[in-house]
Structure 1
């Protein structure tokens, strides 16, 4: 790209840089704390089991409800966010999710909690896919791995932040029991949403700038998308994307990745308390390593893929699948605590990095027009996988089969590796839309 300014004058580019970073940081931080109204359930599960007498099968079903509504919500809201308004959806997600969490804290019926948790899943789904659409407006194709990985990294750290917040709350007001995990954490995101509303612009046009000019390949891809959508209905983008076979391959990858990721994230706290003999607080503290590893992995791997394999990110998926699967397999046989800690961090690092690789692909194939729709479909598929693991793994653990859980996650990683090898062999002449093979990655923006 000439002068690496994406068609802007020097003055315009300075303004563009400033808003691009504000958008990335603002969305990433807000989404990080939005997790406090979502992963608080997994932190509260051991106390819910102890105080209410609910078994792992019941808790698995409760957890699964969120995944179904969250996934279906993504399928809808990725497209709606593009039509109605990106920031409107993101801010609404924060406020509505906080309200659902607050109501859950007053309930004692598992059925009512499940209904409210299902609503919370839909509300939470109103943020991520519109956020990817937002990033597509500000981050050109040669820096999308970095931008999407950065935002996804903060989502990973959000898991650690949520657990940390819940641990502190349990320590400060232990008499509130599991309900404290729903009363307070989600309110932090509400406060941040006010700052977000006043500081983030949806598009360069809203900041008084023209749209950026991307590389030749990306521009041709977006022109193709425009031509394909001309005269079609508002729902046609779904058909357009599903007809792209590369997109279908990534649907399988993200579904498998989600089974592995949530298989660990949901059940590891219970593993530490039930099998390792830890108390609830120590079990949650150990699980922080998994979340920190996830955040680090998705910050590093997608950014590296911009430089090493941005024409086809499947080799990065292969590497992460093998490394993550080996870490889980070794974890199953480990008894020494420091080795367990290293393996937990490593598993989180590589498994969540796969998730981070999905989003630059979604933005590339959807372009600025359909990045939200593409991300929504992919996240819908991801949470079909998450919902399945919640029920299946809950049944495994109901019979005390921890080895079956870890073996299943290892097999899922092997399946992702095989799929990556098979698909990469058929993509050597077809870079994802938006990637110019001759363009050098800009390090300025």
Structure 2
């Protein structure tokens, strides 16, 4: 029975990872389409930033709602529904010629995309216990990082084939359609009673209500500081994900296609960082997630400053820095997620993760038009890396305050 449960644990983790591996094909494709869209629709980068803002805000709102719902309803159904609706929205955008229509559809897509992460996290926390939670979330977060890599790779290939920006909303999401179908067939929300042999599993509290779960979350100051730290980390991460392609596509990349492959190293570094930080927080840092986060964000601030001073034509050094900044800016995410059950208790995992992710995407949304405005005004995309460095330091400050508040509460 123990072997059977162990096999089921890994099956649930792997199928959830498979599904999320292709989720960003319906979200991170936008940065690659931005240049072509701006040219075709004759709109400035500030307006493109507002489109990205709308998606991130829709995602943030969805996280607040769907994380809570994941503690009550089927994560399996929620993830699959979000995937199918995101595919439909992406295809609809590819046929649109109106800025306002694209803005509205991309905002809706943000909400649909939000139906995956917190419910998927809830499913994983149902199957994996405390001592291995960091490892499980490390693998799950790695899948998200690899999802960026998959999206970047597909986008690079499509651009090099001479396809227009609209195809970036049609072709990559077909993989999400297939993965979501596999997920809904294989995944199960929680172990059967006959398989369950995990002393760390939570006992359901049937007196919980939709509102009471939020009250529990906001009653913990250390978790609020953690959510603020995650907000700044996400602002820095999305500043990189969205604007790094613009930074390198701003050059005549057709004469120097190596520019595209430099950007690909960013999500590769993110995927490596997610897996590494998840395991290191359980081993080297002895489950001290906050020390892991603080280290990662300090290194991210340093890497961002180095990217600013290195010329975009220096592809070797630029590639190394893209790998490193991706590693350090995204790696800490695998340490943020276990803090939800550790700070709040496993019964509030979905609500806590959704609440934290809401902060992340509100902050990321606020950053997008700001970055676009800076590029429009300065005429240099490299300027945004100075802002990203400062944002990483703000994350360090917030997670330090979270640590102090957690000690006081304890």
Specify the alignment match of 1:278 in structure 2: 253
Partner of 1:323: 299
Q: What are structure 2's unaligned runs of at least 5 residues?
A: none
TM-score, normalised with respect to structure 2 = 0.94
CA distance in 2, matches of 1:153, 1:343: 19
Query: Does the alignment pair 1:420 with 2:399?
Result: yes
Contact 1:46–1:269, Cα closer than 8 Å, also in 2: no
CA contact (8 A) 1:366 1:373 kept: no
Is residue 2:240 matched to residue 1:261?
no
Q: Computing the radius of gyration over CA atoms, which structure comes out larger, 1 or 2?
A: 1
Q: Distance in 2 between matches of 1:200 and 1:183?
A: 26
Match of residue 176 from structure 2 = 189
Partner of 2:372: 394
Structure 1 residues 124-163: aligned runs within 5 Å: 124-163=113-152
Q: Which among 59, 64, 68 is matched to residue 57 of structure 2?
A: 68
Of residues 210, 223, 232, the one that matches 2:196 is 210
- Are 1:337 and 2:315 matched, yes or no? yes
Deviation at 1:311, TM superposition (A): 4.8
Give the aligned partner of residue 224 of structure 2.
248
- Once residues 313 and 190 of structure 1 are traced to their aligned partners in structure 2, the CA distance between those partners, rounded to angstroms, is 34
Is 1:88 aligned to residue 63 of structure 2?
Answer: no
The CA distance in 2 between the partners of 1:256 and 1:294, in whole Å, is: 16
TM superposition shift of 1:103: 0.8
Contact 1:132–1:363 (Cα < 8 Å) also in 2: no
> For each residue in 1:39-74, what CA deviation from the matched residue of structure 2 results, as whole angstroms up to 9, or x when unmatched?
111111122123332211011011111000011001
1:426 & 1:236 partners in 2: Cα distance?
22
Counterpart mapping for 1:6-17 below 5 A: 12-17=1-6
Partners of 1:347 and 1:205 in 2: CA distance: 42
Q: Is the 8 A contact 2:22 2:147 kept in 1?
A: yes
1:419–1:83 Cα change, 3 Å: closer
**Structure 1: how far apart are the matches of 2:164 and 2:281?**
44
Misfit runs of 4+, over 6 Å: none
- Residue aligned with 1:181, SS: helix
Alignment partners' CA distance in 1, 2:53 and 2:69: 24
Q: Distance in 1 between matches of 2:407 and 2:220?
A: 16
Query: What are structure 1's unaligned runs of at least 5 residues?
Result: 1-11, 432-445
Report the alpha carbon displacement of residue 425 of structure 1 after superposing the two structures with TM. 4.2
The answer on 1:314 being equivalent to 2:300 is no
Deviations 1:197-233 (A, max 9, x none): 2222211127x4236212xxxx7xx57xx6xx66453
3-state SS of 1:54 partner: coil
Pick which of 104-113 and 279-288 moved more.
Answer: 279-288
How many Å separate the matches in 1 of 2:53 and 2:395?
A: 23
What TM-score, normalized to structure 1?
0.86
The separation in 2 between residues aligned to 1:417 and 1:406, in whole angstroms, is 17
Match of 1:4 in 2: none
Is this contact kept in 1: 2:231–2:363, CA < 8 A? yes
Q: When the two structures are aligned, how many residues end up with a matched partner?
A: 406
Are the aligned partners of 1:305 and 1:316 in contact in 2 as well (CA < 8 Å)? Answer: yes
Q: What is the 5 A alignment of 1:396-411?
A: 396-399=374-377, 400-411=379-390
- 1:43/1:362 Cα in 2 relative to 1: closer, same or farther (>3 Å)? same
Q: Distance in 2 between matches of 1:211 and 1:140?
A: 10
In 2, Cα distance between equivalents of 1:84 and 1:424: 32
- What corresponds to 1:18 in structure 2? 7
CA distance in 2 between counterparts of 1:231 and 1:21 reads 31
| 1:123 paired to 2:101 | no
* Mapped contact 1:129–1:372 kept (Cα < 8 A): yes
Shift of 1:427: 4.0
Query: How far, CA to CA, are the matches of 2:316 and 2:64 in structure 1?
Result: 41
